[in-house]
Amino acid sequence: MNVLFASSEAVPFAKTGGLADVSGSLPVALRQHDVETCLFLPAYRCVYQAGQPIERTGLYFDIPIGSKLVTGHLLRSQLPGSDVPVYLVEQPQYFDRDGLYNEHGRDYNDNCERYVFFCRAVVEAIRLLDLPVDVVHANDWQTGLIPALLETEYHVADRYRSLTTLFTIHNMAYQGQFWHWDMLLTGLDWKYFNWQQMECHGKLNLLKTGIAFSHTISTVSPRYALEIQHEPLGCGLGGVLRERREVLKGIINGIDDQAWNPATDPHLFANYDVQSWQSGKSTNKTQLQQQFGLEVRPDLPLIGSVGRLVGQKGWELILKLLPQWLRSQDAQWIVLGTGDPTLEQQLRLLAADYPQRLSVQFAFSDALAHRIEAASDMFLMPSQYEPCGLNQLYSLRYGSVPIVRETGGLADTITDLEQGSDTQPANGFSFPGWDVNQLHRTLERAVRVYREQPNTWRSLVETGMRQDWSWYASAGKYAQLYRHTVARRNQLQSSLS
């Protein structure tokens, strides 16, 4: 099985979000399931600064963009610690910029043109490199044109006739919507600009394009696959996804269990495993309390939060209850992240009023993120919606009991204490409604168990630490989906011949 993985970002070359983590890890993990992979990325400016060896292939392509031809070149690198080749589409006019998609909060005006070029370059590279490809795995709107090109222009060529496509949606909120005249940039016939395929409310929609033309669709958790078939989480495309629900599947993202391993993590004050977590977490907690000026109290539950400070992550709810908790509850909070200036200012004022109870770091530090996971007794993640989520998985691995809202990937990975069973043991706390009172009651319940039921708390921690959320497990499900997609495509072609 040979899979071409197309993405607009991947660690360590370029990153703005979780898509980069998936694209940098999944192609490597697939090799353990007898799936040969290669990865395609745009050659952004930051790619050359990633510290990875890059070589020129000597191959180039002239891509039609509207009424002009644009030349690009193909470079080659590889994913660190593996032999997975990375092909970089070089076109300085499009990709030699400070940002990936935007600068100073404003999207680039030519984003449609940039990613049309990238999509056509990926498809052309299959021929130029003489790549053996069974499945083209495209990701998010930036690669949404690839399935359409393969289905409408390239399907008659021998090299492309047997290719199948999988299109993964990482977040429905980002759809690649452009004015209708940008349809000319794609080079596709206007007949495809219709409500079933590429048009949405009078605009060109590249996420919808990927959904409409791909053979199989996936998203990053089973629960999210159900949620996006309906509004509001369908973001206007719920009906399109319901039409294709028979080929829509949710697969939870994995985590890098080498980078996120408390037994070997170089960022921690003390390493630990499932046998030694009590002493290990105690040391990390004491050191972090000292580092950030919190009262050194091993008996106080420490509640951690790492991520973007935006409403979607639950801060609208948290800031409604946090002042009361800081005044009246014996608990400490440590927050790491940046985001909405209004939310930052509210947290800044609270931290000034309660320096022994709340520490806020307005930055992003990978090392500190690891230390917070190791030091925290609980990790708070009450997201309004969450396609998959990774921080709750890091928390399970580090014995920081997650407290989450029951949505998307959070619902698929965290089982509430009161809902655990022999087949699905409890590993955290969750609540269903977007409601501050439910959050308050769930936090109170978690703190009460932490203080009054040490054996139950130990079971929650150790259950989470023993669970396997590695990329190896997730990659196995993708490998099955690839094979199922190819088999279904072959069956369809046989029935038509």
Count of positions (residues) in the chain: 497
List the 332-336 sheet strands across, edge first: 358-361, 332-336, 302-306, 378-381, 401-405, 429-431
Q: Do domains 2-254+473-496 and 277-468 have the same CATH topology?
A: yes
Q: What's the CA gap between 470 and 30, in Å, rounded?
A: 12
Report pLDDT for 493. Answer: 72
Determine how β-strand 203-205 pairs with β-strand 199-200. Answer: antiparallel
pTM of the model: 0.93
Q: 2-254+473-496 adopts what CATH topology? A: Rossmann fold (3.40.50)
CATH number among 3.40.50.2000, 3.30.830.10, 3.40.50.720, 3.40.50.300, domain 277-468 = 3.40.50.2000
- φ and ψ of 8, to 5 deg: -90, -5
Assess contact for 459 and 466: CB atoms under 8 A: no
Q: Is 425 helix (H, G, I), strand (E, B) or coil?
A: coil
> How many Cα atoms within 13 Å fall on the side-chain side of residue 460?
26
Q: What is the model's pLDDT at position 495?
A: 66
Q: Which residues of the chain have pLDDT under 50?
A: none
Q: Are 59 and 73 in contact (CB under 8 A)?
A: yes
Domain boundaries, the chain: 2-254+473-496, 277-468
Bridge partners, 68 (sequence order): 65
- Per-position b or e across 174-205, b if 16+ CB within 10 A of its CB: bbbbbeeebbebbbbeeebbeeebbbbeebbb
In the structure encoding, which two tokens stand for residue 424, read together?
């699905």
Angle at 206 between CA 204 and CA 209, to 5 degrees: 100
Q: What is the pLDDT of residue 308?
A: 87
Give the pLDDT confidence score for residue 491 in this predicted structure.
80
